[in-house]
Homo-oligomer: A and B are copies of this chain.
Amino acid sequence: MRNLCMKVNYDGTEYDGFQTQPNGNTIQDYLESAICSLTGERLKITGSGRTDAGVHAYGQVFNFHTESPIPIERWCLALNAWLPRDIIVTDAREVPLTFHARRMAKRKTYRYSINANRFPDIFHRRTQAHHPTKLDVQAMEQGLAHLIGTFDYTSFASRRSQKTNHVRTIYEAYMTVDHSFSRPGSDDQGIIHTYITGSGFLQHMVRIIMGTLLEVGEGKKSADDIPFILEAKNRSKAGPTAVGHALTLWSVEYEENIKKH
């Protein structure tokens, strides 16, 4: 018996999220089906966590136990041959039998991308929310800074969250603005990427954070409202859940000796 840990990138546009659903068409289903085609084993993989329908991953991690003797360096290309073009396994390594991709994940980073130019970006529209009207990015950054720390994030969790404990830690969060697609002389505001690194995330947490920060950017809320929203522990105090297709699970980190990124 071997325990294999892999990294997978996917364009989530056409899928119903990472985790197996009754209707199929999830990333997990396609990965398990590719493994079965390769080894004949009907096994279950363990992802580092779910991603919603339409959400992408640049560095999702999963593991599974296999009896297959296939050498580790052959797995990526062999699995990719069985996978659709928008799911790509980019790393495979053998890990101790005790390794568990979800329970042992230490830090996760998500990226949320907002195109604040006047027009959609034809080459990245699958991974960007389009917000052509005026945004106060500085206020959004101030609001984001209030979210760094260890808090009960109930206000920023889906009401359907089944977790009993909503305390999480956000270690790091920042925004970058890319002007390389802005038209010279226009009022294009650039592509705003928000990176948020935390110990773990509640259902819809990044999207609700972003929906709230967009309201801050629009002037509907103030950056200094954020601490009160956190304190309220009440979903209705935060902003709407921002669209999922602009969200990408960017990386998952483990203890140094089994680091994946």
Chain A residues close to B by CB (< 8 Å): 9-11, 56, 58, 76, 80, 85-88, 90-91, 118-120, 122-127, 183
CB-contact partner of A90 in B10, B88, B91, B119, under 8 A: B119
Cβ distance A257 to chain B, nearest Cβ, rounded Å: 15
Among all A-B residue pairs, the 6 with the closest Cβ atoms: A9-B122, A90-B119, A11-B122, A88-B119, A88-B122, A88-B120
Known: A11-B122, A88-B120. 5 other contacts (CB 8 A): A9-B119, A11-B123, A58-B123, A86-B122, A88-B122
| Copies of this chain held together in the complex | 2
Chain B residues positioned under 8 Å from A119 (CB to CB): 9, 76, 80, 88, 90
Q: What separation, in Å, do the CA atoms of A120 and B123 have in the docked complex?
A: 16
Residue of B whose beta carbon sits closest to that of A80: B119
Cβ distance A133 to chain B, nearest Cβ, rounded Å: 13
Cβ distance A7 to chain B, nearest Cβ, rounded Å: 9
Chain B residues positioned under 8 Å from A10 (CB to CB): 122
Q: What separation, in Å, do the CA atoms of A11 and B119 have in the docked complex?
A: 14
Are A85 and B123 in touch, CB under 8 angstroms?
no
Cβ distance A91 to chain B, nearest Cβ, rounded Å: 7
Are B88 and A56 in touch, CB under 8 angstroms?
no
